[in-house]
Structure 1
Amino acid sequence: MKPKNLVIARAVREQGLTHAEAATRYGVTRQWVHTLLARYDTEGPAGLEPRSRAPKTRPGTTPPAVTERIIELRRELTAAGADAGPITIAWHLERDGHLAPSTSTIRRTLHTAGLITPAPNKRPRSSYIRFEADLPNECWQADITHWNLANGTRIEILDFLDDHARFLLQIHAATAFTGADVTTAMSHLISTYGPPYSTLTDNGLVFTTRLARHKGARGGFEKLLTAHGIIQKNGSPGHPQTQGKIERFHQTLKRWLTARRLPDTTEQLQTMLNEFRTWYNTARPHRSIGRRTPERAYTALPKATPTHTPQPEWRTRTDRVDKNGKISLRYAGQLRHLGIGRAHIGTPVLILIHDRNTTVSNADTGQIIAEHTIDPTKHYQPKKR
């Protein structure tokens, strides 16, 4: 107890000072004198003990049930290999019908529970320079990553991601992907979602031949894009940041796969990838698109369409007619056999290629000996009559 409080109370009750006189003498307010006397009369000297100034109610305090749910969600999401940050936890709380506290409160709760490992050297998110397509189908990113089976076999995973909505268009597993496989996958996506305005990939040979050691024809993927007027973009060699969205997507994918048992077969892995695609597109809030799901973001706006006028392919090559009266030519990533005729066996030839059309002439005399219009569905190409 403060002695001053007891002196004030006794000065009024035992010495007869008025409230105003006591307030003036001891340098306090009359209201404080009234308060001290009320406590003194009710509780005696013990009522003059200093009392807590804390508010009697704390309307901003997180309810215990919400605190418990925050910790529970953190553990559940982490065990499932999903993002378990404060923003994601807030989204799940709201979906469950709770009034979600601020993300800083959620982060503080996780810290108190010992569920956050400090990372002082982690680059702040505010320092990132972001590039994002304005519309769905404005840009599709594609890449190939890997995962292992239980026996250690390395399996390739091909995925296509919409740049604007982060919508996972396709994810497929195979022992290895060829250029023809990638072309088939892209053709299926075009049939399903419509052709995009552009694509963005690395410089793998299944996507482009522009950095091939031996320059040749455009690959099947490039031919398909050209046929639909789709702009093809490729990242700089050794600079995966250009395809940052799909590289970051692979982290989410592999964290999810790591939380599960390794599959025994490629078919089991594909089943897991199908499950992941449904979860990723429809049940996972994405921070970069306003905590919406990719499916919701993809369907919210009209789709971009190709407006590019592709340049025709012009090239030349030399060859010699083989013993069967044929020459070979790579077109759309596959080797084609052009019929010339047995009468020209061993003849050196010059081939002029304009998209699907070829003109074959005798390299020594310049005489045209065959013309072809390549049928992409066939390997053998008979010459025009």
Structure 2
Amino acid sequence: MCHGNAPLTPTGRLRLAWCVVEDGRPLRRAAERFQVSHTTAKRWADRYRLQGWAGMYDRSSRPHHSPRKTATAVEEQVVRMRQEHRIGPLRLAVRTGVAPSTAHRILREHGLPPLAALDRATGRPVRRYERTRPGELVHIDVKKLGRIPDGGGHRMRGRAAGQANRKRSTAGYAYLHTALDDHSRLAYTEDLADETAPTCAAFLKRAAAWFAARGIVIERVLTDNAWAYSKNTWRQTCRQLGISPRWTRPWRPQTNGKVERFHRTLLEEWAYHQPYTSDTERQAAFPAWLDWYNYHRPHTGISGRTPASRVTNLSKQHT
């Protein structure tokens, strides 16, 4: 394939060579006619004499000999260690004696995906899925977050003063219960006092009502195997609401990864985004952040759209 600024396509090169070789025109006259240099006209004329039409295509710039190319045995060692130990280019470089950039190139040439795209337990590519409609599956999880003592924690007062202030305080922990729709990524979160079975069941009722007000009927919920989600209280609440409960496999938190990723975003963009002088100040900033997340923040997991834009006729999605 010709580069973008090439003055001649393979057909144009053939016409140029034909003028010189078959019609007997001088090189300079032919070069002027096709608006190329004398050396370019000579190159394509010589290739036509030797190779005919096949010589009119660009040749590979790859050298015939690469004396400094990484040995095949080293490449096989890099690939084998990656598959056995699932380590990145830097650690592979230290173990095999090549540069990190060389280890990265070897992995790329052999079609090995980045570690972020693999399941660390099995080494297999992560299977990503997405439900086809809102409400088909809602992920539920709890994030335990330390409350900020009055006067601020270590982010506001420094490590030593912040720890001393926390010891004098009885701030405790916040339990952030989140329900996240798999298809749209629309999220509903409450700050509650604990994560007991009655608290989780009551949260599910309020979450179902919140989604229903936005035209989403929850069909299934997916949770981990925490104690609160395995009790009869949770099962009975799901039965009353007409929701089918689902649980992740043990030791497989990535199955509930969408809500796990939401909690990471929540921590980065709200909880730890700026220093707060008290937990009350931080909680006061949460409703505005959640509204921004649902209605205005582009979500990379859904091609830069907002969660609200994936819910039909949801109010405020265009404001």
Instruction: Indicate conservation of the 8 Å contact 2:177/2:203, yes or no.
Output: no
Distance of 1:199 and 1:130 partners within structure 2: 18
Equivalent position SS for 1:299: coil
**Of 198, 208, 212, which aligns to 2:220?**
198
| Corresponding residue of 1:107 | none
**Of 197, 222, 237, which aligns to 1:179?**
197
Equivalent position SS for 1:190: helix
Whether 1:160 aligns to 2:179 is: yes
CA deviations on 1:328-385 (whole Å, 9 max, x unpaired) are xxxxxxxxxxxxxxxxxxxxxxxxxxxxxxxxxxxxxxxxxxxxxxxxxxxxxxxxxx
Equivalent position SS for 1:145: strand
Whether 1:207 aligns to 2:207 is: no
Deviation at 1:235, TM superposition (A): 1.1
Q: What do you get for the CA RMSD once the two structures are aligned?
A: 3.5
Instruction: Indicate conservation of the 8 Å contact 1:174/1:266, yes or no.
Output: no
- The two structures have a TM-score, normalised by structure 1, of 0.43
Equivalent position SS for 2:145: strand
Whether 1:283 aligns to 2:296 is: yes
Equivalent position SS for 1:244: helix
Judged with a 3 Å threshold, the aligned counterparts in structure 2 of structure 1 residues 208 and 193 are, in CA distance, closer, same or farther, namely: same
Q: 5+ residue gaps in structure 2?
A: 1-19, 39-112, 119-123, 154-165, 167-171, 315-319
Distance of 2:261 and 2:291 partners within structure 1: 18
Aligned residue runs from structure 1 range 55-204, under 5 A: 122-124=115-117, 127-148=125-146, 149=148, 150-151=152-153, 153-168=172-187, 170-194=188-212, 195-204=217-226
Judged with a 3 Å threshold, the aligned counterparts in structure 2 of structure 1 residues 165 and 33 are, in CA distance, closer, same or farther, namely: closer
Instruction: Indicate conservation of the 8 Å contact 2:267/2:273, yes or no.
Output: no
Judged with a 3 Å threshold, the aligned counterparts in structure 2 of structure 1 residues 189 and 35 are, in CA distance, closer, same or farther, namely: closer
CA deviations on 1:57-93 (whole Å, 9 max, x unpaired) are xxxxxxxxxxxxxxxxxxxxxxxxxxxxxxxxxxxxx
| Corresponding residue of 1:248 | 261
- Give, as a single letter, the amino acid of the residue that structure 1 aligns with 2:126: Y
- Give, as a single letter, the amino acid of the residue that structure 2 aligns with 1:298: V
Distance of 2:191 and 2:249 partners within structure 1: 26
- Give, as a single letter, the amino acid of the residue that structure 2 aligns with 1:296: S
Structure having the higher helix fraction is: 2
Deviation at 1:176, TM superposition (A): 2.6
Equivalent position SS for 1:123: helix
Instruction: Indicate conservation of the 8 Å contact 1:155/1:266, yes or no.
Output: no
Instruction: Indicate conservation of the 8 Å contact 1:171/1:273, yes or no.
Output: no
CA deviations on 1:226-270 (whole Å, 9 max, x unpaired) are 112211111122211111111122222222136522434443332
Judged with a 3 Å threshold, the aligned counterparts in structure 2 of structure 1 residues 130 and 25 are, in CA distance, closer, same or farther, namely: closer
Deviation at 1:35, TM superposition (A): 10
Equivalent position SS for 2:229: coil
Deviation at 1:122, TM superposition (A): 4.1
Q: 5+ residue gaps in structure 1?
A: 1-19, 37-47, 49-119, 210-217, 302-385
Deviation at 1:184, TM superposition (A): 2.1
Equivalent position SS for 2:256: helix
CA deviations on 1:20-75 (whole Å, 9 max, x unpaired) are 9xxx796x141545899xxxxxxxxxxx9xxxxxxxxxxxxxxxxxxxxxxxxxxx
Deviation at 1:172, TM superposition (A): 1.8
Equivalent position SS for 2:175: strand
CA deviations on 1:267-304 (whole Å, 9 max, x unpaired) are 33322321221121111222332322101112369xxx
- The two structures have a TM-score, normalised by structure 2, of 0.51
Whether 1:257 aligns to 2:270 is: yes
Distance of 1:273 and 1:185 partners within structure 2: 18
Whether 1:228 aligns to 2:241 is: yes
Equivalent position SS for 2:227: coil
Equivalent position SS for 2:276: coil
- Give, as a single letter, the amino acid of the residue that structure 2 aligns with 1:278: D
Equivalent position SS for 1:143: strand
- Give, as a single letter, the amino acid of the residue that structure 2 aligns with 1:187: K
Judged with a 3 Å threshold, the aligned counterparts in structure 2 of structure 1 residues 133 and 257 are, in CA distance, closer, same or farther, namely: same
Instruction: Indicate conservation of the 8 Å contact 2:271/2:282, yes or no.
Output: no
Instruction: Indicate conservation of the 8 Å contact 1:171/1:274, yes or no.
Output: no
Deviation at 1:165, TM superposition (A): 0.7
Judged with a 3 Å threshold, the aligned counterparts in structure 2 of structure 1 residues 233 and 33 are, in CA distance, closer, same or farther, namely: closer
Structure having the higher strand fraction is: 1
Distance of 2:249 and 2:25 partners within structure 1: 83
When Rg is computed on C-alpha atoms for both structures, the one with the higher figure is 1
Judged with a 3 Å threshold, the aligned counterparts in structure 2 of structure 1 residues 132 and 267 are, in CA distance, closer, same or farther, namely: same
Q: Aligned residues, how many?
A: 190
Judged with a 3 Å threshold, the aligned counterparts in structure 2 of structure 1 residues 124 and 230 are, in CA distance, closer, same or farther, namely: closer
Distance of 1:146 and 1:262 partners within structure 2: 19
- Give, as a single letter, the amino acid of the residue that structure 2 aligns with 1:167: L
Identity over aligned pairs, percent: 24
Whether 1:272 aligns to 2:285 is: yes
